[in-house]
Structure 1
Amino acid sequence: MIQTTYNKLMQWFLSRPRTTKRILSIFIDYVVVMLVLWMAFSLRLSTWYEPPVSQLWLFFLAPLIATPIFIKLGLYRAIVRYIGLDALWTIFKAISLFTVIFATVVVLSGPYAGLVPRTIYIINAILLFLAVGGLRLYARWLFISTTRSPLAELDNQRYIPPVLIYGAGRAGAQLSALLKMGRQLRPVAFIDDDPTLYRQQINGLNVYRPRDLVKLIDKFHVRDVLLAMPSASRSRRSEILRSLEDLPVHIRTLPDLTEIAEGKLEVSDIQEVDIADLLGREPVAPDPQLLTANISGKCVMVTGAGGSIGSELTRQIIKLKPSRLLLFDISEFALYQIEQELCNQPSGVEVIALLGSVVDRVRMTSICQHFSVQTIYHAAAYKHVPMVEKNVGEGIRNNVFGTLHCAQASIAANVETFVLISTDKAVRPTNTMGASKRMAELVLQALAQISDTRFTMVRFGNVLGSSGSVVPLFREQIARGGPVTVTDARIIRYFMTIPEAAELVIQAGAMGQGGDVFVLDMGSAVKIVDLATRMIHLSGFTVKNAENPDGDIEITYTGLRPGEKLFEELLIGENVSQTAHQKIMRAEERVIAWQDLQLILTDLQHAVSVADYEQVRVLLSKYVDGFIPQCAIEDWLSHRFASKQNVIINQH
């Protein structure tokens, strides 16, 4: 009964407004300062001290001096539940300042100075620090014990799931303290590889060895493990994740240290495992000279600025201090989002959002000339293979002729550097999207021979987390309980993070001399089915298959989509040379002279305009090396029929 009343009283107090709590804290400190001074006299004189009337003014003066100092130094702005060493240091400074001022006032009071022994000031300071600091730590303990008590859990009818924290370093200790103060997750133990930490305690939690994981999961009925090792290398985190894969727990992690502002964590910082950690791919430090060469102090434009790659390019470009950054996109919503994001940064760079299509040559030329654009990163393209396969004409118009018009606008406006974001699907393509991107490369290679603008192409594979990527799709399917869909058990892909890809694109663009095709080192290929399996395991589920019919989530195979390949390549031939950057290579590939390519483009444009997709296929097959369409001619004919219907509807 008493415990229940106490808990209700505490809950009532905790629910009061912060202003009420601060007023109460000031009142308590006011009384404490007087009591501590009285205790200091009693200890100094070794007796139950009864101050004479002539000394009473000291006991009223002390809190009048202490309280403003406490307020000024922020003792009442600190939230009790987060009290730590920083708060104790502030208390120490406040009491030191109070002691100096109090002693000075008493000494300057003349005849009354002799009423106070000099040692009183030191004794009073020590006792006051213990009282003020101790009360706050006790209040913090009361808060934590009240919010974690069984009665509190029962009152709120809420179960707080237990979690293990892998990593007993600074981030792990900070995370455990945060979770203990909240009511979302309940830390029960630490796991750490460091043998010197074994059987030690951090924030009241024992530290165990990794081999104790299975025992701890059973003991505490744990379903979640939080990986708190933000400073560990990506390969080390990948190694740890592999060791946790077979355990029936959901693995989550903290972001990189660079994402933890001022060492402060929030529960919302806990996130799903970064797929880049699964791949174990270590990023390479960028070359500052290559990063700034085409950007710093220059007017830079990014086409397709609202897309996955384009938006990341703009984020990195704005940090390199261009004189002006132009964002160009056909999607109003995507353009608005990236504009707001960049404008909210204190960069000092002028950001201009421009709506339009890269197919509009007149607008592109006008923009380049009006703003005196010096560098263009051309990321605008239709890239979804099945979508372009169903909309052949628009894919060719946007990817080939959009690139052509941008390039011609660049030449007309004397743009210094033009960098095309290409794709590994341009190598021996089996789909229209890949063939259109290779044709765009041919356009730039040809124009590079007859113009002063430096045209450069950067070719790479899949980027993690981009729109249409398998990773967000798998996460969504796992969250729904499956099944997880994979097109083919044999399909493999190369992966790279969006920030790394954008960083390498910027550096590769600075190395171009004109007509260069750069390819990025994508690391090791990954089987998509293995990626799906690992994501299922790290989400705390098991794969349901013939060997494990009682599993949680099934992987189903849907068959290759139109134009999809089992594996991708980055080179058409074997002619490749190294560059100054270990992750960037230069490819030597066939070039079609501009006078010949002009005739090809004229034929291609006519075929697209009349929806003659048989002729489109003939032209692409003839001039794009290795183009072997995967989908049958009947599919192309059906697309042609659908497109002609759309033309008729639009005309009416």
Structure 2
Amino acid sequence: MLDFVNSLTRKQKARIFLTIDLLLIPVALLLTFAVQPLPGTPLETLVRFLPILPYMIAGAALLSLGLGLPNIKLKAYEQNAVGLTALHAVAMVGLSALLTRVVAVHVPMGTHVIFGLIYFLIMMATRAILFQVVSAIYRHGEHSCRVLIYGAGTTGTQLVQALRAHESITPVAFIDDKASLQGVLLAGLPVFSPARIGELVERRNIHRVLLAMPSLSQPKQAQIARQLQKMGLEVQALPSFAQLIGEEELVDKLTPIAPQAFLGREARDMTLAEACNSYAGRSVLVSGAGGSIGSELCRQLLSCRPTRLVLYELSELALYNVHQELTQLCEDGEVEIVPVLGSVTDPRQVSRVLDDHGVQVVLHAAAYKHVPLVEANPLPGLANNVLGTQTLARAAADAGIERFILISSDKAVRPTNVMGASKRLAELVVQDLATRHGQTVFTMVRFGNVLGSSGSVVPLFQEQVSRGGPVTVTDRNVKRYFMTIAEAVQLVLQAGADAQGGEVFVLDMGKPVPIMQLARQVIESAGYTVRDTTTPDGDIEIEVIGLRPGEKIEEELTLSGDLTGTRNPKIFCAREKTLSEIEIASVLHGLREALASGDEIGARALIRHWVEGYQAPEPAAKTS
């Protein structure tokens, strides 16, 4: 039957409606004669009307087509359609009176009025019955979607009324947490407890659950949605009425809070001033230009007006995005933007790019920085972070560029992970080149976590909040240094401009921030409450999951603690031991051998030997 209904065209459906309306005319006449006392039986009176019946049917057809009644869809048969039907019935009263006068069939005028009223009522009733029949066909057809309404409040009951006019969605029952509602009928549907969802899904063939609880907090809705999705159900949520009509502001909930809001101090807004002189009018290359730090370096360098900005990036998508953005920022064309897709580990490409574009300054931000990923993939991490740095720095020295600035990390200080060890080895490589290539100023800038960068903790917490939690923290005692991206980049460019060669610059990061405190701030900034032992009815829980491999409780910024000031009070210079040229050569040779043979144990042993303070556990001994 469903296939038959779906196979009907709009014209065919209109013809069916018209035929039904015309067939209702003799039915209406027969009913009229049954309720109106006239000489003879109702059937005998109808026989007297037979001479004018064809004319009434023809007139009714013209009137119906003129008013467009057959073209009105069943589910759209509302106030306007009712009015047109009433107009049609009134016209039929006049037509009936006119025709009986012409053919001299004498009936009281009241008979025509009763006929019009009955015709109107049975037309309406027929449409209502047809709608219920078609709806039932769709509900029991293979394309019908059977749904549960989670929430038996006002929104839920209104939703049921709206869905009953829908051809392909059938509301089956309500689900509600309130015990007082369970077991009663609302809007003709039973109300069940959430514990019976599994039974209802199986017994009543449920496909979807509609969350009709707009007053419930978003995290709690997300938690309910996740539980239902695990049962294989599709879940959809309704917005509140206030949101639909625009009275409730959604911007604060839809837009993540700016990272600097979690800094715990005022963000420092500095100007580059004289530092720009080291970049103005020069060809500058930024490796890792599509990353968080690299792209911000590019944005701030534009204000210094270099002649050329070379964007060196391994990721095609990241390069495309940063190139598009910078091209729009530099519409005047004073700075040439050059996108280069490639890896810093490719010596031929690196040398060609430096030569082809006359690069004079290199800012090396390309690195694998995510601790767990590099810990799980140590060889690619060491190849990119150590050998990539050595390749780019050596090519820069050979090309005689003016400045090479390495972006380093506080995780390079007494590292407990491969990522931090790789950054420390990269620092040692650059320090070695600084002692042997005086024509190029080699320097490095070390700082801690950057708020808002890709993979950093604040975006992760915000994403977890948007999913309804929990927010995961590795340890209750973990603390981290934080800066904003803009702060870090301003100081990097300042330090790079002031460098004389071989310095390890350390940025003033302020006081370390407890991660538990940061997690609470992120939850509360989104308008929710933390669920813990003191507030068991809170929205989002903070879950402690344990330190990841290679993760520290607290980070450090220097190996020796021996810092000297610079002319910028936010930049310090660390005095730290370096390796000799022979030792660096031994490190690089051993690393290449480990990479060539795929020897992870050998690579870890190498960094354990050469990186001061590296505290990774010894590999387990093999047993025969």
Indicate whether the TM-score tops 0.5.
yes
Question: Which residue in the other structure is 1:399 paired with?
Answer: 385
Contact 2:275 2:498 (8 Å CA) reproduced: no
Contact 1:318 1:347 (8 Å CA) reproduced: no
The 1-side partners of 2:260 and 2:273 are apart by 26
**Matching of residues 572-591 of structure 1 within 5 Å:** 572-591=559-578
The 2-side partners of 1:293 and 1:404 are apart by 27
Question: Which residue in the other structure is 1:308 paired with?
Answer: 292
The 2-side partners of 1:402 and 1:338 are apart by 21
Contact 1:312 1:499 (8 Å CA) reproduced: yes
Task: Please point out which of 565, 588, 592 is paired with 1:601.
Answer: 588
Q: Secondary structure at the match of 1:368?
A: helix
Contact 1:276 1:497 (8 Å CA) reproduced: yes
Q: What amino acid maps onto 2:246 in structure 1?
A: Q
Determine whether 1:556 maps to 2:540.
Answer: no
Task: Please point out which of 477, 481, 489 is paired with 1:502.
Answer: 489
Tell me by how many angstroms 1:320 deviates.
1.3
Relative to 1, partners in 2 of residues 1:283 and 1:538: Cα closer, same or farther, differing over 3 Å? closer
Tell me by how many angstroms 1:613 deviates.
2.2
Contact 2:260 2:267 (8 Å CA) reproduced: no
The 1-side partners of 2:379 and 2:537 are apart by 48
Q: What amino acid maps onto 1:580 in structure 2?
A: R
Determine whether 1:184 maps to 2:246.
Answer: yes
**Matching of residues 80-95 of structure 1 within 5 Å:** none
Task: Please point out which of 466, 488, 493 is paired with 1:479.
Answer: 466
The 1-side partners of 2:376 and 2:214 are apart by 50
Contact 1:290 1:506 (8 Å CA) reproduced: no
Question: Which residue in the other structure is 1:326 paired with?
Answer: 310
Contact 1:305 1:380 (8 Å CA) reproduced: yes
Deviates more, 1:278-287 or 1:612-621: 278-287
Q: What amino acid maps onto 1:399 in structure 2?
A: N
Tell me by how many angstroms 1:530 deviates.
0.9
Task: Please point out which of 334, 346, 362 is paired with 1:360.
Answer: 346
- Structure 1: unaligned runs, 5 residues or longer: 1-153, 162-179, 188-223, 227-250, 253-269, 638-652
Q: Secondary structure at the match of 1:344?
A: helix
Q: Secondary structure at the match of 1:412?
A: helix
Question: Which residue in the other structure is 2:260 paired with?
Answer: 276
Aligned residues: 383
Question: Which residue in the other structure is 2:430 paired with?
Answer: 444
Q: What amino acid maps onto 1:328 in structure 2?
A: Y
Question: Which residue in the other structure is 1:350 paired with?
Answer: 336
- Structure 2: unaligned runs, 5 residues or longer: 1-157, 163-211, 216-241
Contact 2:288 2:312 (8 Å CA) reproduced: yes
The 2-side partners of 1:350 and 1:362 are apart by 23
The 1-side partners of 2:488 and 2:595 are apart by 32
Tell me by how many angstroms 1:615 deviates.
2.2
TM-score, structure 1 normalization:
0.56
Q: What amino acid maps onto 2:375 in structure 1?
A: E
Q: What amino acid maps onto 1:316 in structure 2?
A: Q
Question: Which residue in the other structure is 1:422 paired with?
Answer: 408
Tell me by how many angstroms 1:506 deviates.
0.6
Relative to 1, partners in 2 of residues 1:344 and 1:287: Cα closer, same or farther, differing over 3 Å? closer
**Matching of residues 257-276 of structure 1 within 5 Å:** 271-276=255-260
The 2-side partners of 1:357 and 1:484 are apart by 35
The 2-side partners of 1:290 and 1:624 are apart by 36
Deviates more, 1:493-502 or 1:289-298: 289-298
Question: Which residue in the other structure is 1:381 paired with?
Answer: 367
Relative to 1, partners in 2 of residues 1:293 and 1:183: Cα closer, same or farther, differing over 3 Å? farther
Contact 1:321 1:347 (8 Å CA) reproduced: no
Task: Please point out which of 289, 293, 297 is paired with 2:277.
Answer: 293
Runs of 4+ in 1 over 6 A off after TM superposition: 157-161
Tell me by how many angstroms 1:632 deviates.
5.7
Contact 2:272 2:493 (8 Å CA) reproduced: no
Question: Which residue in the other structure is 2:121 paired with?
Answer: none
Tell me by how many angstroms 1:467 deviates.
1.0
Task: Please point out which of 622, 626, 632 is paired with 2:613.
Answer: 626
* Sequence identity percentage: 48
Q: Secondary structure at the match of 1:354?
A: strand
Tell me by how many angstroms 1:558 deviates.
1.2
The 2-side partners of 1:590 and 1:409 are apart by 25
**Matching of residues 102-251 of structure 1 within 5 Å:** 184-185=246-247
TM-score, structure 2 normalization:
0.58
The 1-side partners of 2:245 and 2:399 are apart by 60
Tell me by how many angstroms 1:185 deviates.
4.0
Q: Secondary structure at the match of 2:436?
A: coil
Question: Which residue in the other structure is 1:236 paired with?
Answer: none
Contact 1:457 1:518 (8 Å CA) reproduced: yes
Contact 1:520 1:585 (8 Å CA) reproduced: yes
Relative to 1, partners in 2 of residues 1:557 and 1:632: Cα closer, same or farther, differing over 3 Å? farther
Tell me by how many angstroms 1:552 deviates.
1.3
Per-residue CA deviations over 1:588-639 (Å, capped at 9, x if unaligned) read: 110112233112211121122212222222221221111111x5625x99xx
Relative to 1, partners in 2 of residues 1:606 and 1:159: Cα closer, same or farther, differing over 3 Å? closer
Per-residue CA deviations over 1:164-198 (Å, capped at 9, x if unaligned) read: xxxxxxxxxxxxxxxx9x953458xxxxxxxxxxx
Q: What amino acid maps onto 2:459 in structure 1?
A: P
Determine whether 1:339 maps to 2:323.
Answer: yes
Contact 1:287 1:507 (8 Å CA) reproduced: no
Relative to 1, partners in 2 of residues 1:478 and 1:287: Cα closer, same or farther, differing over 3 Å? closer
Tell me by how many angstroms 1:284 deviates.
3.6
Per-residue CA deviations over 1:547-589 (Å, capped at 9, x if unaligned) read: 2222211111111111111111111112110001111100111
Question: Which residue in the other structure is 1:538 paired with?
Answer: 525
The 2-side partners of 1:351 and 1:444 are apart by 27
